Chain A
Amino acid sequence: DQQVKQNSPSLSVQEGRISILNCDYTNSMFDYFLWYKKYPAEGPTFLISISSIKDKNEDGRFTVFLNKSAKHLSLHIVPSQPGDSAVYFCAATLWSNTDKLIFGTGTRLQVFP
């Protein structure tokens, strides 16, 4: 039972344009959502997070939006750069167990010149 879903396995975007990565979830008890970025042959690195009590969090070129009624979050990257090409994982934690992350299946983003 996949509680965190990333339905687009891949996304291709031109440099300078906006990249939008989507994530859907089923469990209304999630209290925090995180995005991780993973380059090949490296471990994932934390990118940005958002609490379930907020609807937006911004950090430089990265903004995460949370729509709780739709159980949907999205990561916007503006402007996209070739160095953003990586696999992006959405993850969530439960109120009852904040130590464990539940990951989505990932979206491979390719930014081309």
Chain B
Amino acid sequence: DVKVTQSSRYLVKRTGEKVFLECVQDMDHENMFWYRQDPGLGLRLIYFSYDVKMKEKGDIPEGYSVSREKKERFSLILESASTNQTSMYLCASSLPGTSGNEQFFGPGTRLTVL
């Protein structure tokens, strides 16, 4: 059974803290994604990685960075957390290059920045 796991389900941080969100997939997928989900805005892509050490900015990369040192692991970093980064963060993975490719999602991390 395919699986995407995220390191925390709930996280509370203070403004200015550095925050790491970890995602691991066991499907040997090349592609990995970080989204945030906010009410009324749907899922918005933050960053995308199509291979180890490769990354591409999504629609809302400001205030975030990512790291992909191993194929199965994709980390999202908030360098200095702010209250407007309070959100649900979702990680996903997929195989590359086929139309209609399904993305597999983790359970999400609900981050609150105080």
Q: How many A-B residue pairs have CB under 8 A?
A: 65
Q: Is the interface of A mostly helix, strand, loop or mixed?
A: strand
* Other-chain residue from A41, A51, A104, A105 in contact with B100 (beta carbon distance below 8 A): A51
Q: Are A99 and B48 in contact (CB under 8 A)?
A: yes
Q: Does B61 lie at the interface of the complex (its beta carbon under 8 Å from any beta carbon of A)?
A: no
- Give the residues in chain B near A44, CB-CB below 8 Å: 43, 90, 105
Q: Are A89 and B42 in contact (CB under 8 A)?
A: yes
- Give the residues in chain A near B9, CB-CB below 8 Å: 41
- Give the residues in chain B near A89, CB-CB below 8 Å: 42-43
Q: Are A32 and B99 in contact (CB under 8 A)?
A: yes
Interface string of B39-66 (1 = CB under 8 A from A): 0111111001010000000100000000
Q: Are B106 and A98 in contact (CB under 8 A)?
A: no
Q: A34-B100, A98-B99, A98-B101 are in contact. Are A43 and B43 (CB under 8 A)?
A: no
Question: What would 9 A/B residue contacts be, using CB atoms closer than 8 Å?
Answer: A34-B102, A42-B108, A43-B106, A43-B108, A46-B104, A49-B100, A99-B101, A103-B42, A104-B42
Question: A residues within 8 Å of B by Cβ?
Answer: 6, 9, 31-32, 34, 41-46, 49, 51, 89, 91, 93, 98-101, 103-106
